[in-house]
Structure 1
Amino acid sequence: MRTGQDQSAETKSRRGLAPPAATAATPLLTSSAALCWGLQFALLNPVLALLLVGLYDAGPADVGWVLAIYNASGFVAALGIPSWADRRRDYLRPLLACGALTLALAGTLAIATALPVAVVALVVLGGPAGVGVSLLFAEMKHAKAAPSEVINVRAIVSFAWVAGPPLATFIMGSLGNRAILPVLAAVALLNMATTAVMIAKRRTANSVEPDPDPAILASGQSVHRRAVVPIVAGFVALQATNSAAVSVMSLFVTERLGLPLVWSGVALGISALLEIPALLVIGKLSRRLSSQALLATGCIAGVGYYAAMTLITGPELLIAAQPLNAWFFGTVAGIGLTLFQDLIPRPGLASGLFTNTRRIGAIVSGVIIAAGPGLGFGYQGVFGICAIVAFAALILIGLSRNTAPAA
């Protein structure tokens, strides 16, 4: 866990009293890279099933197994590639490679006419390419970025995910399904360009400032498993509740509340938009409050949100509850990333492991979704179970206080 001494050291580093960061990337450059990397798969992933059906005549069963294999490839890549980058202490060249893989993926999907070819491209090219955002945050940690900076950049990635899906559907609706692929290729080129600039700036910085002593870099590089296990389990649980809640929102709105489907999109859209200012506020608060304290507020907000959803009867209360959801997921997304990076000294492994808690959580969410109606509580029962799971996650994460190494 971070202590007052840790925060003081970070402050000294920013004031020039500690060794400079490993890269000379400016905030504007980092923010631009975050926007582009966020857009990269915010444009593709939400419409991937539509592409499989529209371009390759995939059936419902085909879509299911293709997405499963694709996500499995991403899961493996999110651990393997960042860990390899940790050993080399170089995150920018793999980041550049991810941009090239995305470009190759867009080109292959554009010319492919058969589903097997598209599947191979998604597994071999798409899975590894999706590691780009994790590598960007690993590079920030390697460059000694403060937690508040990391959280602010995470807000930019969230903005990309707010803008990406409607932009993708607009392009496909106006110009045809295949039209999204040149746009994806253009974003990949932008990603490669920003990464190339970051590499050039790092070379300039390294030519002025020698690399730190390897003995210093090696110190404190053990992963404290007793602290990691409850943290990982807690975040899998929190991610599962979010995935389950999003998945059943349309059914909850139409079947439980009897409202038009549009209210589901309105509720989720408002929550996503509010997540951005929530992350910015969290970034400021992280300079004064511990990660554990901020995360506790998020878990409490999550419990409150899910409990409120079991009692909601109309659209007004549905919308009024969304700020709680935004604060909840803002802390999970922002504080979670910095907490993993604090706990696990290898930036790539930390970012990759955090990314995979969302993938595992999506799998676990299936159990939550089935349990609510299965126990006779309907879709509001899903939110009730989510409240219990979020509270259990708060306890699990709290246990890490006692297992974290002393500073």
Structure 2
Amino acid sequence: MQNSSAAAPRRSFDLTSSSFLIVAFLTGIAGALQTPTLSLFLTNEVHARPAMVGFFFTGSAVIGILVSQFLAGRSDRKGDRKSLIVFCCLLGVLACVLFAWNRNYFILLFVGVFLSSFGSTANPQMFALAREHADKTGREAVMFSSILRAQVSLAWVIGPPLAYALAMGFGFTVMYLSAAMAFIICGIIVWFLLPSMHKGKGATAGHIEAPRTNRRDALLLFTICTLMWGTNSLYIINMPLFIIEELHLPEKLAGVMMGTAAGLEIPTMLIAGYYAKRFGKRFLMRIAAVSGLLFYAGMLTVHTPFLLLGLQLLNAIYIGILAGIGMLYFQDLMPGQAGSATTLYTNTTRVGWIIAGSLAGVVAEIWSYHAVFWIALVMCVITSGCLMRVKDV
């Protein structure tokens, strides 16, 4: 009888862990179905000019930051995070339905982006809930979060090709409705299978002062992650044009390079999660920064397909460690505020896109696509300097 009763919680916990993995994958798929084809959708379906397409991305990032930070602070102060995730999934469904049938630029920008900002916040809130659950149950938080991050990366390996196949084969309406279905399934799993973490008044009061002691380090880490994601965004925006226009290499090479890096990021995240406790998060982030320096130095000097593909190992180490460890670093620097910490980390991606979107076109137009990698290299140097000053946890 004793063994039987002990086995029940283990089965329940395994079900909960599996549910977290599925939700991480589905929220990743929902994003990966929409983002890669957005510029194509705006150009072909909405008939937006190139400048308006760029403005749409910038506006999306700004609105997303405002919405996610508001929800993050609210989720840490009161309420059940699980209910908030379900609410975000529902608004994500509405956003997908709007994009599926509406073709008015300004409605999509102000209403669609507002709704989709809630939908995209489901992902960082899920990671915050996973951290709270891991802390409560005594599970190794670093490895568990790394596995969840790997699920999101897997979604981004599968999602973009699937998005293009759906959009080109069946139309954007089918593609956006597929993303809506991912949100619906995600919401159902969250509601029925993920745990509730209600916040008591005492716990809230006890954690109010914690972030203040780490505010300088959190700001430094925000700068570090923003610069790192900014360089990655510069690379994503600039690399295909650099490969085709300046190196005169086949177009498919750009896709192969991105796919290779995405595939290599998954084992990198898992390895980083395994060794984080032994070596510390700052040490791993330094390894990432060095890999970034070597990678962008390589992009400035290497111009053959074989070597460009080989460089993707450095790119995978750079982004894999950032994606797997960066969020956990924020959570450790901001104890008691998992939602705010996770959303702050997520917003470094958005700010990185704003910086990269502003720089990439200007630098390429004034100088060349090759010169953009010099900007990325300088940003990596600044990153390394900031990492010398941030506290280890």
1:185 corresponding residue in structure 2: 180
> What SS does structure 2 have at the residue aligned with 1:400?
coil
> What SS does structure 2 have at the residue aligned with 1:399?
coil
2:217 corresponding residue in structure 1: 227
Bigger fraction of residues in helix = 2
Distance 1:399 1:45, change over 3 A: same
Q: How far 1:366 sits from its partner (Å)?
A: 4.2
Provide the rounded CA distance (Å) in 2 between the counterparts of 1:285 and 1:388.
Answer: 28
Instruction: Confirm or deny: 8 A CA contact 2:58 2:354 kept in the other structure.
Output: no
Distance 1:364 1:394, change over 3 A: same
Structure 2 matches for 1:167-316, cutoff 5 A?
167-199=162-194, 201-202=195-196, 214=203, 217-218=206-207, 221-223=210-212, 224-316=214-306
Pairing 1:47–2:37 present:
yes
Instruction: Confirm or deny: 8 A CA contact 1:54 1:177 kept in the other structure.
Output: no
Query: Which range is displaced more, 295-304 or 115-124?
Result: 115-124
Query: Which range is displaced more, 108-117 or 165-174?
Result: 108-117
Instruction: Confirm or deny: 8 A CA contact 1:340 1:354 kept in the other structure.
Output: yes
Equivalent in 68, 78, 100 of residue 58 of structure 2? 68
1:9 corresponding residue in structure 2: none
Provide the rounded CA distance (Å) in 2 between the counterparts of 1:240 and 1:110.
Answer: 30
Letter in 1 for 2:196: R
| CA deviation string 1:333-367 (max 9, x = no partner) | 11111001111121111111111111111222246
**TM-score of the pair, normalised by structure 2:** 0.88
1:136 corresponding residue in structure 2: 126
Equivalent in 164, 170, 188 of residue 159 of structure 2? 164
> What SS does structure 1 have at the residue aligned with 2:301?
coil
Letter in 2 for 1:133: N
Q: How far 1:212 sits from its partner (Å)?
A: 9.5
Q: How far 1:247 sits from its partner (Å)?
A: 1.3
Provide the rounded CA distance (Å) in 1 between the counterparts of 2:149 and 2:65.
Answer: 20
Distance 1:383 1:109, change over 3 A: closer
Q: How far 1:220 sits from its partner (Å)?
A: 5.4
Structure 1, unmatched stretches of 5+, are 1-15, 17-22
Equivalent in 350, 353, 360 of residue 359 of structure 1? 350
Provide the rounded CA distance (Å) in 1 between the counterparts of 2:370 and 2:51.
Answer: 28
Structure 2 matches for 1:101-120, cutoff 5 A?
101-120=91-110
Distance 1:386 1:110, change over 3 A: closer
Distance 1:384 1:167, change over 3 A: same
Letter in 1 for 2:59: I
Query: Which range is displaced more, 338-347 or 103-112?
Result: 103-112
Instruction: Confirm or deny: 8 A CA contact 1:151 1:283 kept in the other structure.
Output: yes
1:382 corresponding residue in structure 2: 372
Provide the rounded CA distance (Å) in 1 between the counterparts of 2:293 and 2:90.
Answer: 42
Distance 1:259 1:92, change over 3 A: same
Q: How far 1:40 sits from its partner (Å)?
A: 1.0
> What SS does structure 1 have at the residue aligned with 2:36?
helix
Instruction: Confirm or deny: 8 A CA contact 1:24 1:198 kept in the other structure.
Output: no
Query: Which range is displaced more, 364-373 or 126-135?
Result: 364-373
Distance 1:359 1:24, change over 3 A: same
Letter in 2 for 1:173: M
Instruction: Confirm or deny: 8 A CA contact 2:33 2:176 kept in the other structure.
Output: no
Pairing 1:334–2:346 present:
no
Query: Which range is displaced more, 148-157 or 246-255?
Result: 246-255
Instruction: Confirm or deny: 8 A CA contact 2:233 2:352 kept in the other structure.
Output: yes
Aligned residue pairs total 376
| CA deviation string 1:174-193 (max 9, x = no partner) | 11221112212211111111
Q: How far 1:372 sits from its partner (Å)?
A: 5.4
1:91 corresponding residue in structure 2: 81
Instruction: Confirm or deny: 8 A CA contact 2:100 2:172 kept in the other structure.
Output: no
Letter in 1 for 2:188: A
**TM-score of the pair, normalised by structure 1:** 0.85
Instruction: Confirm or deny: 8 A CA contact 1:368 1:386 kept in the other structure.
Output: no
Provide the rounded CA distance (Å) in 2 between the counterparts of 1:103 and 1:69.
Answer: 20
Query: Which range is displaced more, 118-127 or 322-331?
Result: 118-127
Q: How far 1:94 sits from its partner (Å)?
A: 0.8
2:387 corresponding residue in structure 1: 397
Provide the rounded CA distance (Å) in 2 between the counterparts of 1:70 and 1:215.
Answer: 32
Instruction: Confirm or deny: 8 A CA contact 2:68 2:118 kept in the other structure.
Output: yes
